[in-house]
Structure 1
């Protein structure tokens, strides 16, 4: 697939993403999954590692909706990283009203992805220190399991950043001096 310049003149085709970037994009979606599944278990009423005294089942519908939405939205945001290595990250799918079929401007993908990667890196930077914080409401096994389920989130920002850099490099305008 070739790119079109703003004047409608074809430019050099975009090289395919490197295998490592495709793998990193897929890993991004996977690193978010364990913590989301844990939250869904909580919503379904499973104590999921909490002590009997520490577990407070979600009884209010809005609390359940919030936890489910957090899990689903997190996974959907992680799946957006795939757009940096798939054709729909270069041309908007035709089924999207008004803009379907148009070329994605590289900075329209790179800027939000880079900001997201930076934010995610900051948000999850302390996850490796999970076990240094007290978790009185969790059982010893629960503390271990929850810590293990959340550890992959530490990689979310850096993986997104790496895929974003790859996308940028593949889409940058060549020949500028």
Structure 2
């Protein structure tokens, strides 16, 4: 008779990486919420009104985007927690790897655009552009952290139940 045991717990570095992903999304979300709230972030009132629809529908869009981004950034916590599993481990591992691949492709796409397309900005000063860059820079770490988490998760769940001193017969 075999008893099923839980897989090995997530290593400390994986737990920290999952929390770091949520923290990486926070500065850009706060920057967007500041923009939606009318706090000066480097755009003139005309640009906010004509380009972003603020005040108006743009407020809901920008705040909604911030909330969705943070919720998505909290999802990797499912890979290090055993409290709630919306999917079977193998399915969740597959979703994690697909997500990692998409995030890496999006990051590469953003780099190609940043270095090949002449950037058109509506920012009014170099200081505003620097603050914007500092707020969005942590997002670059997310694809790497997610890939490491996906590897850790699939490794822990592929090896089967955690039996520290089990001998195969």
TM-score bracket relative to the smaller structure: 0.7 to 0.9
State the shift of 1:13 in Å: 3.0
State the TM-score, normalized to the length of structure 2. 0.78
Superposed CA RMSD in Å reads 2.7
User: Could you tell me which residue of structure 2 aligns to residue 142 of structure 1?
Assistant: 128
Instruction: Give the distance between the partners of 2:62 and 2:103, measured in 1 at CA.
Output: 18
Segments of structure 1 that go 5 or more residues without pairing to the other structure are 1-8, 93-103
Give the number of the structure with larger relative contact order, counting CA–CA contacts within 8 Å between residues 6 or more apart.
Answer: 2
State the shift of 1:107 in Å: 2.1
State the TM-score, normalized to the length of structure 1. 0.75
Instruction: Give the distance between the partners of 2:14 and 2:31, measured in 1 at CA.
Output: 27
The structure whose residues are more often helix, as a share, is 2
User: Could you tell me which residue of structure 1 aligns to residue 54 of structure 2?
Assistant: 58
User: Could you tell me which residue of structure 2 aligns to residue 49 of structure 1?
Assistant: 42
Segments of structure 2 that go 5 or more residues without pairing to the other structure are 162-169
1:20 alignment partner, one of 13, 18, 21: 13
Shift in alpha-carbon separation, 1:79–1:26, aligned structure 2, 3 A: same
1:86 alignment partner, one of 81, 85, 90: 81
Matched, 1:77 2:72: yes
1:123 alignment partner, one of 85, 106, 113: 106
